[in-house]
């Protein structure tokens, strides 16, 4: 039984898998990581293998505690991966993106796949039908766009993501919603069209914290999967346990 730990910018996501079967998921603050792990170990005593993917700083004492209790794999660019990585600077590639590509390889091994992760940033990652990872793009996420307009101007307010009532905003708030939400939606649709020009059989996966919000507005055909990153981490753990 596997325990998956995804340490993000804001929260830690934990998931329990039995082989490839998803069983349980939780989301906690980093300060509650070890307490939550102990609770999960009590609920699922067969947990033996653990993988950690961290885009944030994981305290050394947490890492040492986990390593003393489990077979621990900490994901990095040096980890054995189930695809060929053509990224020219692999040491700079985020572990979250490695996990997403691994999920695509596992679930769509013979397909061209574009994975869009809509979180703090929006990442676009592409693997071809022969499981070569070719790269992608990184763009500001929804909340980052709102915050940037507030932080770099004198009078624009801080707003939460909201669907614009019309693409022509007739108040400052509505104009900001139109610019941010419609701007990002059209950006994503545009990127998908670019890939489709070269890969007509493209499969598109949308995941991340803002996936549900954005999926309602996208014109392109997509598959939304909020657990895609966790599934990719589980596949990497299984791949390294063979």
37-54 pLDDT per residue, tens: 999 999 999 999 999 998
Per-residue model confidence (pLDDT) at position 242? 66
User: Span 117-140, mean pLDDT?
Assistant: 96
Neighbours of 52 (CB within 10 A): 23
Average pLDDT of the residues in 125-151: 97
Percent of the chain with pLDDT over 70: 99
Average pLDDT over residues 124-150: 97
Instruction: Over range 214-239, report the average pLDDT.
Output: 93
Instruction: Reply yes or no on whether the pLDDT at 240 is more than 90.
Output: yes
Q: What's the mean per-residue pLDDT of the chain?
A: 94
- Annotated binding residue at 117? yes
Cα angle for residues 78, 84, 89 (degrees, 5° grid): 55
**Residue-wise pLDDT tens digits, 76-125:** 999 999 999 999 999 999 999 999 999 999 999 999 999 999 999 999 99
Domain edges within the chain? 2-74, 84-232
Instruction: Please tell me which residue in 62, 96, 125, 210 is annotated as part of the active site.
Output: 96
Lowest mean pLDDT among 57-66, 143-152, 165-174, 222-231: 57-66
CA-only gyration radius of the chain, Å: 19
Q: What is the mean pLDDT of residues 14-30?
A: 95
The superfamily CATH assigns to domain 2-74 is ATPase, nucleotide binding domain (3.30.420.40)
172 annotated among ligand-binding-site residues: yes
Q: What is the mean pLDDT of residues 141-153?
A: 96
Residue 48 known to bind ligand? no
Q: Known catalytic residue: 198?
A: no
Question: Is 10 marked as a binding-site residue?
Answer: yes
Determine which of 23-27, 39-43, 105-109, 208-212 has the lowest per-residue pLDDT on average: 208-212
Q: Is 7 annotated as a binding residue?
A: yes
Same fold, 2-74 and 84-232: yes
User: For residues 188 and 139, is the Cβ–Cβ distance under 8 A?
Assistant: no
| pLDDT tens digit sequence for 63-78 | 999 999 999 999 999 9
Q: Which two tokens stand for residue 22?
A: 């998803």
Q: Is the pLDDT of residue 224 over 80?
A: yes
Is 94 annotated as a binding-site member?
A: yes
Class of CATH domain 84-232: alpha beta
125 is in an annotated binding site: no
Cα(41)–Cα(37) distance, rounded to whole angstroms?
A: 6
Report the Cα 141 to chain-centroid distance in Å.
12
pLDDT of amino acid 131: 97
The pLDDT value given to residue 56: 73
């Amino acid at each position: 039984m596997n325990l998956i730990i995804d340490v993000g910018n804001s929260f830690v996501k934990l998931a329990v898998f039995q082989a490839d079967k998803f069983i349980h998921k939780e989301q906690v603050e980093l300060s509650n990581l070890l307490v939550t792990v102990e609770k999960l170990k009590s609920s699922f005593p067969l947990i033996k293998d653990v993988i950690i993917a961290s885009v944030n700083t994981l305290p050394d004492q947490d890492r040492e505690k986990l390593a003393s209790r489990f077979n621990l794999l900490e994901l990095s660019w040096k980890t054995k991966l189930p695809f060929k990585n053509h990224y020219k600077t692999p040491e700079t590639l985020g572990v979250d993106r490695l996990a997403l590509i691994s999920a695509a390889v596992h679930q769509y091994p013979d397909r061209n796949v574009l994975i869009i992760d809509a979180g703090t940033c929006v990442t676009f990652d592409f693997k071809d039908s022969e499981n070569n990872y070719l790269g992608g793009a990184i763009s500001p996420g929804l909340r980052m766009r709102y915050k940037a307009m507030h932080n770099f101007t004198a009078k624009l307010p801080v707003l939460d993501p909201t669907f614009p009532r019309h693409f022509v905003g007739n108040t400052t708030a509505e104009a900001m919603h139109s610019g941010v939400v419609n701007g990002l939606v059209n950006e994503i649709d545009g990127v998908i069209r670019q890939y489709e020009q070269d890969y007509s059989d493209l499969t598109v996966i949308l995941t991340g914290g803002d996936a549900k919000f954005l999926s309602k507005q996208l014109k392109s055909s997509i598959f939304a999967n909020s657990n895609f990153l966790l599934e990719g981490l589980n596949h990497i753990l299984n791949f390294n346990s063979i």
